Amino acid sequence: MQEPTFLILTALAAAPRHGYGVIQAVEELSGGTVKLRAGTLYGALDRLAEQELITVDREEAVEGRLRRYYRLTDAGAGVLAGEISRLRRNAEAAEEQLRRRPGGLAAGFAYGR
């Protein structure tokens, strides 16, 4: 799973959000390193909806424009949980390999950044 997809699913994990809310949440979750453009986001939302990982929660008119809210489905929550486990295993394996490095974690590695 690519990082933007992971972050979109994460942004929708706690509560439904509209598109701009997802963009803001992804930027915040990534510490500002992932900034989604609207075209990229809506393409990803359409793909995730086709995969039944997210669904439209509701729509409302705001200042004459339709605002669509998306939410994570149970299937999406399962996929997200699986990805969290996979990333955690990979991070632990990487950390173990760094411990085996001469000098340990501190040798050339700023842990926790």
pLDDT in tens, 75-93: 999 999 999 999 999 999 9
> Who has greater pLDDT, 100 or 35?
35
Residue 91 lies in a domain: yes
Task: Among 6-10, 15-19, 102-106, 107-111, name the one with the lowest average pLDDT.
Answer: 107-111
Residue 106 lies in a domain: no
Residue 60 lies in a domain: yes
User: Cα–chain-centroid distance for residue 110?
Assistant: 24
pLDDT of residue 102: 83
Residue 112 lies in a domain: no
Residue 111 lies in a domain: no
Average of per-residue pLDDT across 48-73 = 95
Residue 110 lies in a domain: no
Domain membership of residue 95 as a residue range: 3-99
The answer to whether 57 and 71 have CB atoms below 8 angstroms apart is yes
- Cα torsion through 25, 29, 34, 38, rounded to 10: -10
Q: Give the other-Cβ count within 10 Å of 69's Cβ.
A: 17
pLDDT of residue 109: 56
Nearest to 77 by CA among 3, 4, 1, 14: 14
pLDDT bucket at 108, cuts 50 / 70 / 90: low
CATH number reported for the structural domain that contains residue 59 in this entry? 1.10.10.10
Residue 109 lies in a domain: no
Q: What is the pTM of this model?
A: 0.86
The answer to whether 105 and 98 have CB atoms below 8 angstroms apart is yes
Residue 113 lies in a domain: no
